Amino acid sequence: MNTKTIFSKIEQELYQTHETRKELYTTIELSLGKPVICYFTSFVYPVMIDDSDVNMLEQVLRTMDLQNGFFLIISSPGGDGLAAERIINLCRSYSGTKGFTAIVPGKAKSAATMICLGANEVWMGVSSELGPVDPQITIWESAEVGKRFSIHSIIESYKELMEMAATTQGNIEPYLQQLARYDAREIKGYEAAFALSKDIAIKALKTGMMKNLANKTIERKIVGFLDPSKTKSHGRPIFKDESQNCGLKIVSGETKEVWDLIYELYVRLDSLLTRQVMKCVESATDSFTVATPTR
């Protein structure tokens, strides 16, 4: 018995090296008949989808034969909408006319949902989650303390105060004091960011899953993704059935055996991003990661 091989395998399992997942990729790709790429950003560490991810993803895509399209397994709390738009363009450019399929074993929220909207179809399981795509902002009270707010709620609260100040009979000083905390130029910027998010989502669908529909029709269908007043919370999940009812091309996956393999790969990578790294883009042959701050 080769004890060195056993100890080596145990060590690989403990520290989740790329080698421990290679066989899973190969098995899944044989079952699906297309290449598989994973794109994960951590739900634990303070990272977001950004332009650096586009570069990592292209490093993987450019070495692969993607003429028949590919599957993108994605897990992320979200990030920059413009980076998401670039990732959609990148995935479409490398997959050509065949396009790409997004697989969501767990959660793909906010900007990650945008990426899914740019796919040909989205595979979701019973617990898979997409989410609203309205932009958020962190307002820092100090160098260490920041609060997350919906840009939409900031815009609406500003408009409400303006309305009350304009229509109130008598003392309007309390409203003016509150309005002094706002910068009208920032509000304009927030309105532009909100409009941009909506535009990216609609454009992704107009050039993909909903190419035969008018922009206004698409907007009406996906209002649950666009309008925070419908979902009440940016973190609220949008599950498979609701996504399908919005007109998205949602697939439950192939066989249970294939979905079990996908889920195993998801669990392994989710563990990696909980314990060791903040981001990971990988295929059967390549793996790019961003280390945690403490490593």
The mean pLDDT value for 266-290 works out to 93
State mean pLDDT over 162-169.
Answer: 87
**Backbone angles phi and psi of 47, in degrees to 5:** -125, 165
Element (H, E) at 12: helix 3-15
DSSP state of 247: T
Query: Are 260 and 156 in contact, with CB atoms under 8 Å apart?
Result: no
Span 163-179, mean pLDDT?
86
How much is the pLDDT for 3? 47
Percentage with pLDDT > 90 across the chain = 65
Nearest Cα neighbor of 190 from 157, 142, 221, 238 is 157
Higher pLDDT, 77 or 161: 77
Q: Where do the domains of the chain lie?
A: 3-131+237-291, 134-214
Task: Tell me: pLDDT of 150 over 90.
Answer: no
More confident residue, 175 or 65: 65
Give the pLDDT score at 75: 98
Strand partners, 289: 280
DSSP 7-48: HHHHHHHHHT-THHHHHHHHHHHHHHSS-EEEEEE-SSSS--
Interatomic CA distance for residues 37 and 238, integer angstroms = 24
Q: How confident is the model at residue 216, as a pLDDT?
A: 97
| pLDDT category of residue 14 using cuts at 50, 70 and 90 | low
Query: Does the pLDDT of residue 7 top 60, yes or no?
Result: no
pLDDT at 173: 87
pLDDT averaged over every residue in the chain: 89
pLDDT of residue 141: 67
211-225 mean pLDDT: 96
Please state which of the ranges 4-13, 55-64, 140-149, 228-237 shows the lowest mean pLDDT. Answer: 4-13
Distance CA 197, CA 16 (A): 36
pLDDT value at position 232? 75
Is pLDDT above 90 for 261? yes
- CATH class of segment(s) 3-131+237-291: alpha beta
In this structure, are residues 100 and 120 in contact, taking their beta carbons and an 8 Å threshold? yes
Is the pLDDT reported for residue 1 higher than 50? no
